[in-house]
Amino acid sequence: MPRPRTARARRIAAVCLAAVLPACLPSCSGGGSPDPTAGAAGLGDRLFPRAGNGGYDVTHYGLDLSYDPGSGRLAGTAVVSATATQDLTRLNLDLAGMTVARVSVDGRTARTSRAGTELTVRPASPLHRGARFAVTVAYGGVPRLLTDPDGSHEGWFRTDDGALALGEPVGSMAWFPGNDHPSDKAAFDLTVSVPAGLTAVSGGELASTRTAGGRTSFHWRSTAPVATYLVTAGIGHYTVTRSRTPGGVPLLKAVDPRAADAATTAALGRLPEILDWETARFGPYPFGSSGAIVDHLPRGSVGYALETQNRPVFPGDGDGPAVDVTSLVHELAHQWFGDSVTPRSWQDMWLNEGFATYAEWLWQQHDTGVPLSRSAAGAFADPATWSFPPAAPPTAADVSAPPVYARGALVLYELHQALGGTVFDRLLRGWSAARSHGNASTADFTAYCARFTGRDLTPLFATWLYGSARPARL
Ligand code: TRP
Ligand code: ZN
């Protein structure tokens, strides 16, 4: 059977193996540090050991930034509010590039040092376990575009009229200092000042805009916790439209006029219908608003869309339309699976991509009558599906590889077959509600399934989630 040229297939095709990040230093895993009051330089994620930092839990980010499209310079302050989870004489933030001008902790100047993507902060006096504190970082520079272990690009993309920030998995550190790991979600306020005439768009809600002295500031507020990889900023010319789904979810679409081809406009026209349909399948929409950000970038410069919180980003860098219905279904499904229920670590990525791929299959059945069984059979027949078990990507280069998407979706297909449609649909809604606005690991999911169904699903998970070999049949 010919393989459908899905949005996912296109994203994956854009990726090649390339440079791997420099090896992790022993200290960055968080273990073996001689000083018990030093916050670890990494959270020990098996695939991205240096991502995130130990010793504190961020509750809120407040970024106040100014961007100059001519020079590409971004500058301002980041206030990272956190709670110490241990006594701390020093702590780290993740930051790639940029120049740090000044750091203070609770208003008192702190000493700093930098090594690789680690910014180490030594407060004037130690922080005690349980203390709430705020680190203010004044910084600036031309943010970097980063290359991931799988050869894809993320971080800060300059566009001909501004910029676009994409942060999966570790690209947020290119433009703001933070705890760049999905396990530490926090509320977010982002204020970006741009030359008057340009627009700055992001996730959350637009709290205010203010024009003075030839510049406009856009303040975007996320009261729901957001993982750093799901924070975006788009700067440029956008046509901004507001509407609502029939079910009542407020929508904000920001579309670069150059990306508004007929097919993109038609696909975006179905956003209200898709979001309400997903709400019926997955449970109440988890955020205060939705929508999409559609930009215009050089051909082939990104190669994927991203499920940034509230409104996904479509970079408009392909030879086809910037947005197609399948990829809209996929990115919006992530609002439940990925954005609201966020992986605890990067090896749990199939909890994002398996679910979003399964949502594509469900939609195709609903919209065009392609049976679920045919989508599953297509994934089953593809040799690329079987290179590793979905719950165990072997290296950081594999987090967005086909098994995470297709085999992840097959796990759900098998659950559907085993439980029947009614129970499976209730399980999907139950899962998104149980872990709403939180984090979950693969073990959390399998435990939830066992509890919810009262059944021993160990053999199913052993075969489809953890097994190496392709089973004899679907
Ligand atoms: N997570 C994105 C999605 O599926 C896609 C994506 C982000 C991606 N970064 C990537 C795909 C890097 C391949 C390589 O919605
Ligand atoms: Zn996805």
pLDDT in tens, 133-186: 999 999 999 999 999 999 999 999 999 999 999 999 999 999 999 999 999 999
Shortest-distance Cα residue to atom 9 of ligand 1 = 168
Q: What are the φ and ψ backbone dihedral angles of 102, each rounded to 5 degrees?
A: -165, 140
Q: How confident is the model at residue 28 (pLDDT cuts 50, 70, 90)?
A: very low
The pLDDT score that the predictor gives to residue 331 is 99
Tell which of 333, 366, 386 closes a domain. 333
> How far is 254 from 317, CA to CA, in rounded Å?
16
Residue 241 within any structural domain of the chain: yes
Rounded to the nearest integer, the mean pLDDT of the chain is 93
In a domain, 32, yes or no: yes
Task: Please say if the pLDDT value at position 8 is more than 80.
Answer: no
Q: Is residue 457 part of a domain?
A: yes
pLDDT of 21 strictly over 90: no
Taking only the tens place, the pLDDT of each residue in 83-127 is 999 999 999 999 999 999 999 999 999 999 999 999 999 999 999
Looking at the structure, tell me whether residues 365 and 328 fall in a common domain: no
Ligand 1 nearest-atom number relative to CA 8: 4
Residues 199 and 110 in one domain: yes
Domain-ending residue, one of 303, 333, 363 = 333
Residue 440: pLDDT above 70? Answer: yes
Q: What is the number of domains present in the chain?
A: 2
Ligand 1: residue of 8, 147, 152 to mutate (most ligand atoms within 8 A of CB) is 152
Ligand nearest to the Cα of 350, by number: 2
Q: Are residues 134 and 213 in the same domain?
A: yes
User: Mean pLDDT, to the nearest integer, of 6-32?
Assistant: 38
Distance 334 CA to ligand 2 centre (A): 7
User: Measured from the CB, is residue 180 less than 6 Å from ligand 1?
Assistant: no
Task: Find out whether 322 and 264 touch, Cβ atoms under 8 Å.
Answer: yes
Is residue 473 domain-resident? no
**What is the β-pairing status of strands 91-94 and 118-122?**
antiparallel
Across the range 439-453, mean pLDDT stands at 98
> DSSP assignment, residue 88?
B
Q: Would you give the DSSP letter of residue 105?
A: E
CA–CA distances in Å: residue 114 to residues 88, 394, 407: 18, 30, 40
Same-domain status, 424 and 377: yes
Q: Is residue 118 part of a domain?
A: yes
Question: 337 - beta bridge partners?
Answer: 341
170 lines ligand 1 (CB under 6 A): no
Q: Which pLDDT band holds residue 12 (cuts at 50, 70, 90)?
A: very low
Give yes or no for residue 227 having a pLDDT over 60: yes
- Contact of 82 with 58, CB cutoff 8 Å: yes
Residues 238 and 353 in one domain: no
- How confident is residue 19, by pLDDT bands cut at 50, 70 and 90? very low
How far apart CA 295 and CA 275 sit, in angstroms, is 21
pLDDT at 247: 98
Mean pLDDT on 254-260: 98
Overall average pLDDT of the 431-447 stretch: 98
Contact 139, 76 (CB under 8 A): yes
Question: What DSSP designation does 21 have?
Answer: P
Structural domain ending residue among the three candidates 333, 366, 389:
333
Has residue 43 been placed in a domain?
A: yes
C-alpha triplet 53, 56, 59: angle, nearest 5° = 110
For residues 187-207, give the mean pLDDT. 98
Query: Amino acid letter at 292?
Result: A
Residues 284 and 426 in one domain: no
DSSP notation for 142-183: -PPEEE-TTS-EEEEEEETTEEEEE-TTTTGGGTS-B--STT
Residue 339's identity, in one-letter code, is: D
* pLDDT for res 33: 54
Same domain, 315 and 373: no
356 CA from centroid of ligand 2 (Å): 6
Q: Is a pLDDT exceeding 70 seen at residue 131? A: yes
Q: Which tops the pLDDT comparison, 7 or 370? A: 370
306 lines ligand 1 (CB under 6 A): yes
Residues 319, 349, single domain; the answer is no
CA distance 193 to 66: 4
Same domain, 21 and 158: yes
Same domain, 301 and 357: no
User: Residue 168: its pLDDT value, please?
Assistant: 98
From the CA of 230, the nearest ligand is: 1
Is 307 touching ligand 1 by the criterion CB < 6 Å? yes
Are 154 and 148 in contact, with CB atoms under 8 Å apart?
A: yes
Give the whole-angstrom CA distance, residue 270 versus residue 36. 54
Ligand nearest to the CA of 352: 2
pLDDT-derived band of residue 22, with 50, 70 and 90 as boundaries?
Answer: very low
> Residue 18: its pLDDT value, please?
30
Sheet holding 215-226, edge to edge: 108-109, 99-105, 132-141, 73-84, 56-68, 186-195, 215-226, 205-212
Buried b (16+ CB within 10 A) or exposed e, 425-437: bebbbbbbebbee
Minimum CA distance residue for ligand 1 atom 6: 304
Q: How confident is the model over 51-62, as pLDDT tens digits?
A: 999 999 999 999
Q: Which band of pLDDT confidence, cut at 50, 70 and 90, is reported for residue 17?
A: very low
User: How far does residue 470's CA lie from ligand 2's centre (Å)?
Assistant: 23
Please tell me the distance from the alpha carbon of residue 310 to that of residue 374, in angstroms, as a whole number: 31
Q: The CATH number of the domain where 404 resides is what?
A: 1.10.390.10
C-alpha pair distances (Å), 438 with each of 83, 203, 257, 272: 17, 18, 36, 25
Residue 185's SS3 state is: coil
pLDDT of residue 140: 98
Specify the amino acid at residue 112: T
* Residue whose entry in the numeric block shows the structure tokens 């839990």: 57
Query: Do 158 and 264 have their domain in common?
Result: yes
191, 203 in Cβ contact below 8 A?
no
Mean pLDDT of 237-244: 98
In a domain, 474, yes or no: no
Tokens 């399964």 -> residue: 358
Helix (H, G, I), strand (E, B) or coil at 378: helix
pLDDT score recorded for residue 360? 98
In a domain, 339, yes or no: no
| 375 contact partners, CB below 8 Å, separation of at least 6 | 360, 361, 364, 365, 409
User: Taking a C-beta distance cutoff of 8 angstroms, is the pair 404, 393 a contact?
Assistant: yes
Instruction: Please indicate whether residue 400, judged by its CB atom, sits closer than 6 Å to ligand 1.
Output: yes
Q: 300 with 364, same domain? A: no
Q: What is the three-class DSSP state of 97?
A: coil
15 Cβ closer than 6 Å to some ligand 1 atom: yes
User: Which is higher by pLDDT, 20 or 274?
Assistant: 274
* 448 three-class SS: helix
Q: Which runs of E-coded beta strand occur in 70-142? A: 73-84, 91-94, 99-105, 108-109, 111-115, 118-122, 132-141
Residues 318-343 pLDDT 10s: 999 999 999 999 999 999 999 999 99
Q: Atom 2 of ligand 1 has which residue's CA nearest to it? A: 306
Q: Write the single-letter amino acid at 231.
A: V
- Look up the domain containing 415 and give its range: 344-464
